[in-house]
Amino acid sequence: MKPRRSLSLILLAALSACQSAPVNPPALNAAVRQQNATPQNQGNRFLCVVEPVDDQGAQIKVMDLQSRLIRRVYVPGRILSLEGDRQQNMLYLSVRSGAEQPRFDLYALNLQNLQLSRPASFSQASIQPVDFRVRDQTLFVAGLQRGEGDLAALRLNQGGWSSLARSFPPGQLQWSRNPDQLHSVHFDEDNITRTTIDVRQRRIVQRQTFAHGVPFGNNMGLSAPDGDYFYALHQLQGLVAIYAFDIEAGSVNRDIATETAVGILFSSALSKDGRFLYATIDNRLERYELVGTQLRRLPPIELNTREARYLTLSDDQRTLYVTHDGEQSVSRIRLAPDHLTFQLDEIPFPGENTQITVF
C-alpha cells in the first residue's frame, strides 16, 4: 500500500441546509491554482487551544511558540471545527450559536492583531455545515440543505454563494490529487461513501459506496488528505480494533491491529505520509507504524497527567501536542527520527483545554 498523507478527524454527525447565487468562476479557478503554489512547510508559529467558557461561547487561546506569549479571544458560540492558514496567519472557525434556533457562521481570527471577524454566514445561505475548507480566500463547505447534501463555495468578504454539487452524503472534505477536485468522505454506521466533485465543472464526477463492517461502538475515522485511504478506530468493551480501507481500490483490510484498552479511546491522528497512527487512550498515547499492509504497535507513551483528550501534529510530523481533562498544561512530545525515542514535557497553558491545532 502506498504511504498516504493524512488528516485527523473526530466524526461529527451531519446536520442540515444551503442556498445559492453564482460565484465568479475566476475566483474558483484562482483557488484551484493556489493549491499547488502554496508552500507546504514553513515551520510552526502558533499553538491554538479552545477553552469552553459557558453554553454560549468559548475562548481561543493563542500561544506564540517563539515568545510563549498566550493571548485570548472570546468567540460567541460553540466551536465545531477549526483550520489554520499559515500563509495568511489566519485561524478559521466553524461556530454554532443559539439553542432553539441555532446559527452557523464562519469566523476568522487574525493571529497577528487578534482581530476576530465573521466573513461568512452559513445560516444566511441556509447551510448547516459538516466540514469546510478555505483556499486562496475561497470558502468551500459541505453540508445539508433541507435534508439534501450540498457543496457550496463563497469568495470571502465578497458575498455570492454558489452551489457546486447536490444530492450526496456530506462528509469530511479532502482535496484530491487533481487540483480541480474535492472528495467528500462520509462515514456512517453502515457505509463509507466518497463523492468526488469537480469544483471547476461544478458537478459530481464519481461516487463510491461500500459497506465497512465496523461494529457499532465508540468509532472514529481518519482520512488521508487525498481521500483515497480511510482508517476507522473502534472501541467496545475494552477492545480497540483498527480497520483500514483503500477507497480507491475498493478493498478493506480489517482488524489490522487490536489491543486491550485500559480507558477510553478519545481522539486520533495520522501522519501526513500515512505511516504513523496516534490515538489517545486514558492517560497514554498509543502509536502504530504502518509496515506494508500491517500496523506494528510501538511502545505507548505514558503521559504524566489525567486522561488525554485532543491531539495535533506539527507540520514536520516530529512534535505532538496533547490536551488533557482538567489540566492546566499541554503535553509536548518531540519524536526522534527513529520515532521510538522521544522527549516529553509540559507547556503551561492555564485554563481548561480541549480542541487543539498548531500551524
The answer to whether position 7 is within a domain reads no
pLDDT band at 8; cut points 50, 70, 90: very low
Provide DSSP, 141-171: EEEEETTEEEEEEEETTT---EEEEESS---
43: burial class by Cβ within 10 Å (0-12, 13-18, 19+)? exposed
The answer to whether position 266 is within a domain reads yes
- Nearest CA to 232 among 221, 216, 240? 221
The answer to whether position 4 is within a domain reads no
Q: Are 64 and 87 spatial neighbours (Cβ–Cβ below 8 Å)?
A: no
HSE (side-chain half, CA atoms, 13 Å) at 115? 5
The answer to whether position 6 is within a domain reads no
Q: What is the pTM of this model?
A: 0.82
- Name the residue range of residue 319's domain: 25-358
Q: For 193-248, write each residue's pLDDT tens digit.
A: 999 999 999 999 999 998 888 888 888 888 877 778 788 888 877 778 888 788 87
The answer to whether position 53 is within a domain reads yes
pLDDT band at 141; cut points 50, 70, 90: very high
Give the CATH number for residue 45: 2.130.10.10
Q: Are 170 and 184 spatial neighbours (Cβ–Cβ below 8 Å)?
A: yes
Q: For 70-124, write each residue's pLDDT tens digit.
A: 999 999 999 999 999 988 999 999 999 998 899 999 999 999 999 999 999 999 8
Q: For 43-69, write each residue's pLDDT tens digit.
A: 789 999 999 998 889 999 999 999 999
- Backbone φ, ψ for residue 76 (5° rounding): -80, 75
The answer to whether position 185 is within a domain reads yes
| Total structural domains within the chain | 1
Residue 14 has pLDDT above 60, yes or no: no
pLDDT band at 292; cut points 50, 70, 90: low
The answer to whether position 331 is within a domain reads yes
The answer to whether position 15 is within a domain reads no
